Structure 1
């Protein structure tokens, strides 16, 4: 599945626009990660537990978006974007979305 943030793909024509494809996941913090992050907050530096959690969440959201685009008959997603929001204390939602298309 080709994914691009642009609205076109150089050298390819959009044969059909299929609609919005999206994927989302919600992740919650782990108490152990919170303890380590609290210590890291005192001395500074990257909070690797959170970085790892969010990287996994981003990949899962993208995978789900691609699955939806493929189910629509697409072979690409153009205009790709991601958003993150806190839905409650300690939990975040990651949403990946774009336009599913069929390229020639």
Structure 2
């Protein structure tokens, strides 16, 4: 499945000479929960300064899950690919990380 961040590829030959036709909105999200020990360490790092490695790792994993969820939804709908993929500005609040991903699913002309 093609997953692209570009807004459009209308009229472009992108597979076996086929052209795409318009699709529709596809969205997905992923939420990761709190970890008291990790959060306490990150609070200390935030106060004294430094890289918040644990939050970065959790954020990376949450983004990957959200994109995987988006691909799964698109495949279930029968889309051949997704264009215009946008990843929301992740929120890290109240011990949770939420990531929302949206894009436009498309089909090749058959």
Q: Shorter-chain TM-score category?
A: 0.7 to 0.9
Q: CA–CA distance in 2 between the matches of 1:57 and 1:2?
A: 21
- 2:9 pairs with 1:4: no
Aligned residues: 103
Is the Cα–Cα contact under 8 Å of residues 39 and 95 in structure 2 kept in the other structure?
no
Bigger shift: 56-65 or 87-96? Answer: 87-96
Aligned-pair distance for 1:41? 2.0
Higher strand share: 1
Q: State the match for 1:66 in structure 2.
A: 71
Q: State the match for 1:43 in structure 2.
A: 48
Bigger shift: 36-45 or 67-76? Answer: 36-45
Greater C-alpha Rg: 2
TM-score w.r.t. the length of structure 1 is 0.83
* Structure 1 residues 17 and 31: CA distance shift in structure 2, 3 A: same
- 2:67 pairs with 1:76: no
Q: State the match for 1:96 in structure 2.
A: 101
Show structure 1 runs of 5+ residues with no match: none
Show structure 2 runs of 5+ residues with no match: none
Local SS of the residue matching 1:5: coil
Q: CA–CA distance in 2 between the matches of 1:39 and 1:72?
A: 45
Is the Cα–Cα contact under 8 Å of residues 82 and 97 in structure 1 kept in the other structure?
yes
TM-score w.r.t. the length of structure 2 is 0.79
Local SS of the residue matching 1:6: coil
